[in-house]
Amino acid sequence: MRKQVFDICIVGSGAGGGTLAAHLAQRGVNVAIVEGGPTVNTRTDFNTHALPFNFPNRHIPTMKPGKTGMGSERARGVGGKTMLWNAVALRLSHRDFKGYTIDGAGADWPIDYPDMAPYYDRIEREVGVCGNRDGLEDLPDGIYNDPPPLKLGDLLLQRGAKELGIPIIQTRKATLTRATQTRPACHYCGNCMAGCDVAAKYNSADVHLNPAMKTGKLTVFPDSVVREVIISKENRATGVHYLHRVTGKQGEVHARCVAVACACSQSVGLLLMSVSSRYPQGLANSSGQLGRNFIPHFTSGVDGFLTGLIGRTVVNDEGYIDHAYLPSYMHAQKRDYARSFGVQIYTGIRRTTGWARQLPGFGAAYKQHVKERFPAYINFQCFGEMIPNSQSYIELDKTKKDEFGLYQVNAVAVQQENERKIYEAMNNASVAILEKAGGEVLSVSKFEEPTLNHYLGGCRMGSDPRTSVVDAHCRTHDVPNLYVVDGSVFPSSSEKNPTLTIMALAARTADHIGDRFKQGDI
Amino acid sequence: MQTRREALKIIGAVGVTCAFPFSANELYGQHVHDHGALQEAQTSTPKFFNLAQLLIISRLSDLIIPPTDTPGAAAAGVPAYIDLVVNEDPALQATFREGLPRLDTISASKFNGAAFLQLTEPQQIEILTTLNEAPGQDGAFFHALKNLTADGYYTSRIGLMQELGYNGDAVLAAFPQSTIPEH
């Protein structure tokens, strides 16, 4: 039997892989997706509507009994992290793409906002994003459905922030607020991050992969953990080598072009594992930059209570979790650091009661104290942009193997002085807003106990092959038919949630790859 | 940009006409909010504490979150929760192994040799008040106990829904509009 050769083999099925696959399939390209995890069904497999008391230890497992998936870094499931994301969908701005030119810190992208704008448009139309056109310089407007209203707590914080000259807007999410032909509107149950069981919230499987499979142009290989990208003597990627997640059986998928899209650190890990005589330090790593420039978001948090809401009747306003957002406004301010931060504002969040233990005392008075503050609890989740440094990187830990016998991937991020200044600035802004709005601060996170989110960097995009791994079309400098399409290519992280940009980059890369196929270039 | 009133009209209209258009749709057809159907966590036989210890823990948890117009910690199943968590945490095991006997030692020295469970409620509260402010291991024991009691109570059905009045995790046709109340 002649072996099957796909036009493209995409490793990973999340925001990057899913978008790339759907856009290429639409253009008639024959696509294979190789995904480490199992097929998951967002309608039936997740514990979406469970509450803590359904479980003796009060921890809600992600999956329902008997369902597998989302249990491993290397093998989440078809749809990847989009199955469980919070759907915040923000465009990067010119200031984000050209941070080095503007601030003298970080790195410029080889592309700018006008290169990306049409792809942001296309993705927003495709997946359905809600938000307002706020006219902010640092957060470009897109094509939006109307967002759900702000909660009462948001309005109080917004009023306080306004007195300080700080904007708070309605956040922008890839969640439908009006039904389409195939997806219903959000029903505001507040379980977004446990998996939206109606797919009102975008996920790659329902919105991109399933429709693409119906075209006959997409084949998905689930449960197939890729261990190596195969390279020919002619320096072309020819496919991937995988292990079956359950049986351990080995297999290969062959293609004329390969795209690695398995989420930042795992993409870097896969390339580092793909060693050969030509690439002894990892595939596409002739620059030595693979795994360098790891720039995850660092996050901080401020918890407290809004005085105006203490003792109020509890209403069901969990909504789609965070409705309000503090966009970057720092560029207009005098400040002693480079780059910026943004804050997701959580009010009306009532399944988180861990704060109760922090209130003083015990007995009936304590119980009353907790009850009164339950409607008033608020939380600021702040995201800062990290400047790349030599101590922050992704590498293989050759002393540790995972359940598949593959090297564990370690991601190390060390925050430095600029990060400390941003950290303090974002916590201070949150505290100031809460105080201005009339509130009590319960706790403020500490820089010495850093938390990370949104892994980015490691396969930096750039025009110079000596200092970057991929070019402006996400194509590796070293191998002309090998692409990396996920957050690892970000040269700078911005403070904004990256998923919309990953999808827009994937759509742009799909255009580029589709054109190359059309021209007979691959 | 739309005004808030216009936005409300549109979202409201969507809520009325479009929120459930897919009764037979594959996406919405299976959409059942099924948390009620899940088994309530059952109280099982104790894993770490013996019955005498559980009686003390039960009393302590009710002193921290007492029955008022709603049930207290013991009725909400907090002792079983504490047993489960401590059973899986060696550091907490040490804290409780030392802390529980200390209660009787303190009781005996303060109240003529009486065990903690023999004290009156005001006497028991007096001891906990001292522990709450105590440095070192006594304070650490009390705070471990309080943290577990708060965690267990406010994640129980009684604590979350009856006491706090949580009423979310439901289907809303439209998200409610809020306005800041005039003072």
The residue among A180, A187, A321 with the most chain B CBs within 10 A of its CB, best to mutate, is A187
What CATH superfamily classification does A1-37+72-128+202-296+456-522 receive? FAD/NAD(P)-binding domain (3.50.50.60)
Instruction: Show residues of chain A in contact with B152, CB under 8 Å.
Output: 58
- Each residue's pLDDT tens digit, A108-159: 999 999 999 999 999 999 999 999 999 999 999 999 999 999 999 999 999 9
Which residues face A326 on adjacent strands? Answer: A343
Contact A342, A146 (CB under 8 A): no
Nearest partner of A306 among B141, B58, B180, judged by Cα: B180
Residue B3's pLDDT is what? 38
- At B27 the pLDDT is 33
Decide yes or no: CATH 3.30.410 for domain A133-192+298-385+416-449: yes
Chain B, nearest residue to A50 by Cα: B35
Would you kindly state where each structural domain of chain A is located, as residue ranges? 1-37+72-128+202-296+456-522, 133-192+298-385+416-449
> Could you tell me what percentage of chain B is helix, strand and coil, using 3-state DSSP and rounding each to the nearest 5?
60, 0, 40
What residues of A are in contact with residue B150 (Cβ under 8 Å)?
353, 356-357, 370
What tens digit of pLDDT does each residue of A123-137 get? 999 999 999 999 999
B177 touches chain A (CB under 8 A): yes
Distance CA B88, CA B83 (A): 9
**Predicted local confidence at residue B10, as pLDDT:** 28
Q: Do A189 and B19 touch (CB under 8 A)?
A: no
Of B34, B66, B150, the CB nearest to A49: B34
- pLDDT tens-digit map of B51-82: 999 999 999 999 999 999 999 999 999 999 99
Show which of residues 354-373 on chain A sit within 8 Å of chain B, judged by CB atoms: 354, 356-357, 361-364, 366-368, 370-371
Q: Give pLDDT, residue A351.
A: 83
Rounded to the nearest 10 degrees, the angle between the axes of helix A417-437 and helix A152-163 is: 110
pLDDT of residue B13: 28
pLDDT at residue B4 greater than cutoff 80: no
Q: Do B169 and A132 touch (CB under 8 A)?
A: no
Instruction: Provide the phi-psi class of B142: left if phi over 0, else alpha when psi is between -120 and 50, else beta.
Output: alpha
Average pLDDT, chain B: 81
For the four alpha carbons of A318, A319, A322 and A326, in that order, the dihedral sign comes to negative
Across the interface, whether the CB atoms of B169 and A53 are under 8 A apart is answered: no
Query: With an 8 Å Cβ cutoff, is B35 touching chain A?
Result: yes
Assess whether the region A1-37+72-128+202-296+456-522 and the region A133-192+298-385+416-449 belong to the same CATH fold.
Answer: no
